[in-house]
Amino acid sequence: MASESVSSGVMSGSVVRDASGGRTGGSIAAVGGAGQRAATGITAAMNLLYAPRHQSHDRPAAGSVVFGRIRSAEELVMAHSSRRPASRSKRRRAGPLLLLGLLAPCVEAATALLPPIERGSIAVHLNTVASGLAAPAYAISAPGDSGRLFVVEQSGVLRVLHGDTLAATPALDISARVAPPLNAANANDERGLLGLAFHPDFDTPGTAGYRTLYTYSSEPIPPGTGPTYAAPNGAVQNYRNLVTEWHMSAANPDLVDTASRREIMSFGKNAGNHNGGTITFGHDGYLYVGLGDGGNANDVGPSHLEPGGNAQNLTTPLGKMLRIDPLDPALTAGSADAVSANGAYRIPTGNPFLAASPVPEIYALGFRNPYRFSVDTATGEIIVADVGQNNVEEIDRLVSGGNYGWAVKEGDFLFDRATGQPGAQSPGAPDGFIDPISGALGTLEYDHTNGISITGGFVYRGTDIPALLGKYVFGDLALHNLPPRADGRLFYADLSTGVINEFLLPQFTDGVLPDHLTIHGFGQDGLGELYVLATNTPANGVGGVVFRIAPVPLPAAWGCFALGGALLARLGARRRSMARNV
């Protein structure tokens, strides 16, 4: 199909392909050095046209294309003049704020606690690769696989993308199992199929992890059974969050063998929110499982322990990061790791609270809702985006035994559990807590004048956008203090300097996602390229879309100009060479 930018309110069920046919988005990199120099000149010229009135320390990048059409210089100036200033309006955003009570339960206008997030210098284009999905929440490729992307739909379906083509048959459909089932009347239902992880040995024949994958889902508690860990305080358990092992079909690599299903561990839940959602393998070969604090607000409620709440209590897995070896212990008989109480997995001998807690799986504590976290494929660091309460969203670097402060702190601010309000900003204090990642220029946190609920992503390790290398790409569900639309925001963070910037999205009028698309999750393929997963309907709708983050495409006329420059340069070089030989 022809190149398509998102411009309609509800996506169709069709799959669309960018005109470039790949990730380059019309890049002219292939024309050689002279073409590169011509492109640099074009970029410089566009920088002059696109220079901001509200200049930040990080200069916006060049280029602006609106729905596949070149903007004139006059349009660029007018468009930029009409863009919202960095100070941003403080009005609360209305609209269908879908998704996960990831949504901080904030009902009052946000108060500025931190500086606004400025637009940065990196411009990208969002290429639509699939649409018509049911709240896509996460996407990854299997180890050794650069041709497929597995997309998790919150409704309970696992889809397969081959390049830009969505397979008609799902790899797995557990929608009948997903609790409660999803409530059609509650757009903020956080339950469903939330996570996916492939064993590191997925592509290694003869190993215990061959063709093995894991899901994280919310499901009913079968009659006569109980979860591995019950909800605290003997609270009513309305469902469980469950880690399940599966194997891919030996006959069809696009299908999961449903007969291979094996339950690993589960957690009883009273409240419907703060379920975490990510499971992923670290470079150490163990599976990390992120759990929210149990739900409700302020780490208070029927299933919350006192004093201090669940996140600070080592007798419950809630509000923690867990680490396990999920393989069947019968297949790892030589391991030094102890077998779990339910006999379904092993507990690493290096876990930091083996002697101090009745929950030996705990690796770190003090989280509110670590909905999304990921491993930097280059360094092995695990970066955690912890969803805030009423005021602060934060990005953390996971360390063994770390205590990340909730609900004593929210970000690097003190927190009052009784009122849900912030206290003083208190970096480094009290002792024993780990604050968000910081550097010489800032701290990776932001307040609710900049967004309402962080959606963690990935550290970029692809090759299509060199300026993005090593940056942490993430987003926010929606900016709630603009006029009544609920559109997601796309950010990148420098993990060394502590600075967060907003991407330039020149294809969209005001630089945020259009059409009430909220950012539900992110994806990473086998080549390190990243994807934005957004939706404008709950998990029982089909407003979900998958975007590939790509370079801003150069208009065809400029590509011809650059190609002409390259040819002229080569012709000149040939003439000089001929002159030397005369």
> What is the 3-state secondary structure of 13-74?
CCCCCCCCCCCCCCCCHHHCHHHHHHHHHHHHHHHHHHCCCCCCCCCCCCCCEECCEECCHH
Residue 233 token pair: 């305080």
3-state secondary structure of 572: helix
- The predicted pLDDT at position 485 comes to 54
Q: Which residues contact 46 (CB under 8 A, 6 or more apart)?
A: 62, 63, 64
Q: Are 505 and 512 in contact (CB under 8 A)?
A: yes
- CA dihedral of 50, 51, 56, 61, whole degrees rounded to 10: 40
d(CA 498, CA 502): 14
Closest CA to 324 of 362, 358, 366: 362
Residue 229 token pair: 């860990």
d(CA 374, CA 360): 22
Q: How many CB atoms lie within 10 A of CB 343?
A: 10
SS3 content of the chain, % helix, strand, coil (to 5): 10, 30, 60
- CA dihedral of 537, 541, 542, 544, whole degrees rounded to 10: 40
Residue 453 phi/psi, 5-degree rounding, is -165, 115
Closest CA to 502 of 81, 43, 24, 60: 60
Closest CA to 387 of 399, 396, 379: 396
- The predicted pLDDT at position 31 comes to 30
- The CATH architecture one would assign to domain 140-486 is 6 Propeller (2.120)
Residue 575 phi/psi, 5-degree rounding, is -65, -40
- Measured over the CA atoms of residue 95, residue 295, residue 445 and residue 547, the dihedral's sign is negative
pTM given for the model: 0.80
CATH 2.120.10.30 domain position(s) in the chain: 140-486
Closest CA to 443 of 407, 405, 395, 482: 395
Q: How distant, in Å, are the alpha carbons of 93, 100, 106, 112, 451 from that of 109? A: 9, 20, 8, 10, 12
pLDDT in tens, the chain (582 residues): 333 333 223 232 322 223 233 322 232 223 333 333 333 333 333 333 233 323 333 322 322 222 222 233 333 223 333 333 333 333 333 334 434 344 444 435 678 999 999 999 999 999 999 999 999 999 999 999 999 999 999 999 999 999 999 999 999 999 999 986 666 665 568 999 999 999 999 999 999 999 999 999 999 999 999 999 999 999 999 999 999 999 999 999 999 999 999 999 999 999 999 999 999 999 999 999 999 999 999 999 999 999 999 999 999 999 999 999 999 999 999 999 999 999 999 999 999 999 999 999 999 999 999 999 999 999 999 999 999 999 999 999 999 999 999 999 999 999 999 999 999 999 999 999 999 999 999 999 999 999 999 999 999 999 999 999 999 999 999 876 454 557 899 999 999 999 999 999 999 977 788 888 999 999 999 999 999 999 998 888 899 999 999 999 987 655 555 555 555 566 665 565 555 555
3-state DSSP of 176-215? CCCCCCCCCCCCCCCCCEEEEEECCCCCCCCCCCCCEEEE
d(CA 254, CA 169): 9
Q: Are 103 and 273 in contact (CB under 8 A)?
A: no
Strand partners, 158: 152, 172
- The predicted pLDDT at position 399 comes to 99
